[in-house]
Structure 1
């Protein structure tokens, strides 16, 4: 027996040593090289369906080959993602007819930002009855239904952004100020389509949306990418978009209501849809072009359970060219999201040089995240590994290059047992878990983990964020605020050698290698928390 135990101890020690060898293979110098290559001028901001994509995909493919990863799509590292770009040309004024038959005009861009998610060349709504449906939410697990007994066919619904708990800070409603998926604009458009509404207009609010009107207005008369699907030929909800809060106040007053009263009513389970007794009319011309973008992925085959997989993900796309700053118009996207690709490749190197994982490991770099998570959505619909066999998904996005952190901030905590597993892994680095400081922004639903969540796969989006070792919490918060204001989605998103620090990204690569290594060499299947809106039995 003693000899048997000694053998086991020696074996475990050897495995631990091999795992450390995997960690030692993670190179911060190579991570910098990957970031610098992807944010370079020659990549032209990595916009899908451009020369920038061609060069980016070539680089990613070459790196996956060099890492010794297996092609994830047959003999190819790339998965073609059919896209269509639709530009909806709006009339200057949009008309709403009051109960008295008086036309009320609102200005495109100033009051409204709408578009038409269809390949129909012309779209016309005439006198579509308008209904206020609160937050536009149906959540059986919360005993919540904003559509009680109403037929929405052919009607235009007006909905509030976010979800009920946000506006009155009631932690007993959904998750209080923390946005759930029900609060996202995407869910509201999806629900409008499911219920046959002709149009869906969301009332914008800076705090509730998590971004100012200028972000929303960027859609006005500009092209939107969609997965090219026959469903685009004839959707039921043919107009989607937003109206400003001031426009909503004006509209409600014109039809005899106060927006504040409607918002108060909407935050109660007893809410009933409100017929606004007015109608919405609009004519839109659509121009569209079809193209093909690509997801890029490679994998390491599991030694014992090759059909089970853990996914690491970081999207490759960015915005192409933008408004010039100091003569530079290229949106380089060093933090968003070249940093995450360097993180992903570093982890891949660790797995290649460490012990062979018992489960397979997929390294996925989706396209068109910035356009609405299109590449990851397409992969989930056409996966290499079954979603039922996808054990967990680790995604990351937007590292700030300011060094190491004491914290690991989970964006969207409380969904699955992965939180506890991450806490254990973080403890090995002397780090603690922290919650997202601005959960009302819904960042958890704004990156590529979301399609996996909807497909029933537990996912984590976590990184060092709020407690930089050198700066402390207060200064870190100031730096982060400055990043979102002056760097995010701008040409200033660059990596500057000697100034930008890679060690925080490196620190998180080690962390997620450890977490993935442990999960890949176990029979653990992370379970959902029943409180999650994505809960399924596993």
Structure 2
């Protein structure tokens, strides 16, 4: 369903108005103001957004459209200016459900053709409905360029017009966030495209049977992607991408200076790893066809204009993703849907993920409107398609509805786990910019500590919507409830990790069930979020990357 249910849309426009006097414009307030977000407001938003009527808010469904209308209505009631497209609150994100054409896709090597699922999987290409390439092969190791770590798999190689062959993984010894960045298939594809390659083959360790199961199973389902309307993509250059299993991968190295087995051994040597790179004595033909069903889903955008003549044109962006993963039925439509089934319940309501974040963002906006116009302008954005791969934030960050060079910071709210009383918060990205000390000072005003990343192995900094702003050079923070609690049942991460293991992306992430959502903790989190955003918006100092930040040095020039 790609259209709005009119009756419920009307309900969303009037439901759950503010519990206090409607605010039409912000007022002046003292600098030492302490916010006091109402618990009832947090509860009211979450109850609507996590209602069964919204059917899990999957993008492309009526439920998501109703949620978007609700957020737009709340922004209007608060007095935020519409800041989407065409003078409204919506920015339509161009999306498509894409599926690989298994009957067409293939890889040909030395006169033998391997069909989709026969030791090879040819990926969809959202940018090109159909493409074929025939080119020589060049092995480029992991396909990683990390000059700050004295590692560059492309150094001295000419891959222009060729198909690069890479193996899964990254060099050892990288910090977790850098490792996650380099491990990303998008990063590897972008790098190959920048060097002029026209195709990419990733050699996996899967057996022939595992490749067949993968290609004919989950990988055969539709996946939601942006359309070319978002802008240029490395997929324009890397026309066909493929994954091959271990046996076909070994054949690509036949007759080369090293076998695949020897290459893997050299790269994984614990004492003295080496990273061979060389041309392979084969030419390969790859062809792909992608079947597309386009649709749109809105980001919801509201603006509070600043009052400082010198700073009002600078914009602090607050974000929270509005979508969730829908129902069991939606999973049949594509990857990443509601997978489990808890009895008769087929809906993944997403009360914590991320109705909580959107509710906190709306109440942060209310605190601004009630307690004083900031010096800088503040933009509030409820994002579409996070669950499909950070799609709404990518489209907005690349095509903002405000001048791109005006965006100076992003604070992102994704799944505040408000199911336990928390003593601390984690501000991912705080070590990368001068936003870190701001977060520490703001939390301290609420007697809350900012703790270091408690799960660095998860590389969370590159896994939520703020990362698309980082890629555009914008210093960013991502706030999360911490691992410390005064209740020993939830201390030392038991509250957070318990939610992940029991309720995350399951039907039990809902209200009035076994999960107890603590609305007072949502209000506390909103107070902290307001204080952070307020200091960023009012500070004399413009947000800036730290000199030693990996991401600042990699992307910071984009904002200059």
Q: In structure 1, what is the equivalent of residue 155 of structure 2?
A: 148
In the aligned structure 2, how far is the partner of 1:477 from the partner of 1:89? Answer: 44
1:277, CA displacement in angstroms?
4.0
**1:319 correspondence with 2:310:** no
**1:27 correspondence with 2:30:** no
**Out of 303, 307, 312, which is 1:303 matched to?**
307
Q: In structure 1, what is the equivalent of residue 359 of structure 2?
A: 342
TM-score (norm: length of structure 1): 0.81
Show the 5 A alignment for 1:394-413.
394-413=411-430
Deviation per residue, 1:220-276 (Å, 9 max, x gap): 3423311333757982212336557x6798668877232642533799897442334
Instruction: Report if the CA contact (8 A) 1:134-1:271 is conserved.
Output: yes
TM-aligned CA distance change 1:418 to 1:236, over 3 Å:
same
1:414, CA displacement in angstroms?
2.3
TM-aligned CA distance change 1:335 to 1:193, over 3 Å:
farther
Show the 5 A alignment for 1:53-68.
53-68=64-79
Q: In structure 1, what is the equivalent of residue 508 of structure 2?
A: 492
Gaps of 5+ in 2: 1-27, 207-212, 331-337
1:464, CA displacement in angstroms?
1.5
1:437, CA displacement in angstroms?
3.0
**Out of 88, 107, 125, which is 1:76 matched to?**
88
TM-score (norm: length of structure 2): 0.78
Q: In structure 2, what is the equivalent of residue 36 of structure 1?
A: 47
Q: In structure 2, what is the equivalent of residue 47 of structure 1?
A: 58
Instruction: Report if the CA contact (8 A) 2:106-2:288 is conserved.
Output: no
In the aligned structure 2, how far is the partner of 1:448 from the partner of 1:432? Answer: 24
Higher mean alpha-carbon deviation, 464-473 vs 328-337, is at: 464-473
**Out of 294, 303, 317, which is 2:298 matched to?**
294
Deviation per residue, 1:121-167 (Å, 9 max, x gap): 444455x5443323322344444321122232443334355643xx3
Higher mean alpha-carbon deviation, 232-241 vs 308-317, is at: 232-241
Counterpart secondary structure, 1:65 = helix
1:94, CA displacement in angstroms?
6.0
**1:384 correspondence with 2:401:** yes
Higher mean alpha-carbon deviation, 195-204 vs 315-324, is at: 195-204
Instruction: Report if the CA contact (8 A) 2:267-2:273 is conserved.
Output: no
1:177, CA displacement in angstroms?
7.2
Instruction: Report if the CA contact (8 A) 1:311-1:394 is conserved.
Output: yes
TM-aligned CA distance change 1:307 to 1:433, over 3 Å:
same
TM-aligned CA distance change 1:496 to 1:102, over 3 Å:
farther
TM-aligned CA distance change 1:336 to 1:159, over 3 Å:
farther
TM-aligned CA distance change 1:278 to 1:513, over 3 Å:
same
In the aligned structure 1, how far is the partner of 2:71 from the partner of 2:216? Answer: 31
Instruction: Report if the CA contact (8 A) 1:116-1:123 is conserved.
Output: no
Higher mean alpha-carbon deviation, 334-343 vs 258-267, is at: 258-267
Deviation per residue, 1:448-469 (Å, 9 max, x gap): 1112112211000122132233
In the aligned structure 2, how far is the partner of 1:401 from the partner of 1:182? Answer: 32
**For the aligned residues, what is the CA RMSD?**
3.6
Gaps of 5+ in 1: 1-12, 207-212
Counterpart secondary structure, 1:307 = coil
In the aligned structure 1, how far is the partner of 2:215 from the partner of 2:504? Answer: 12
Counterpart secondary structure, 2:96 = strand
1:102, CA displacement in angstroms?
9.0
1:203, CA displacement in angstroms?
5.8
Instruction: Report if the CA contact (8 A) 1:312-1:364 is conserved.
Output: yes
In the aligned structure 2, how far is the partner of 1:333 from the partner of 1:313? Answer: 17
In the aligned structure 2, how far is the partner of 1:215 from the partner of 1:396? Answer: 35
Instruction: Report if the CA contact (8 A) 2:346-2:507 is conserved.
Output: yes
Instruction: Report if the CA contact (8 A) 2:107-2:287 is conserved.
Output: no
Aligned residues: 502
1:33, CA displacement in angstroms?
1.7
Counterpart secondary structure, 2:493 = helix
Q: In structure 2, what is the equivalent of residue 505 of structure 1?
A: 522
Instruction: Report if the CA contact (8 A) 2:114-2:120 is conserved.
Output: no
Instruction: Report if the CA contact (8 A) 1:91-1:283 is conserved.
Output: no
**Out of 78, 83, 101, which is 1:89 matched to?**
101
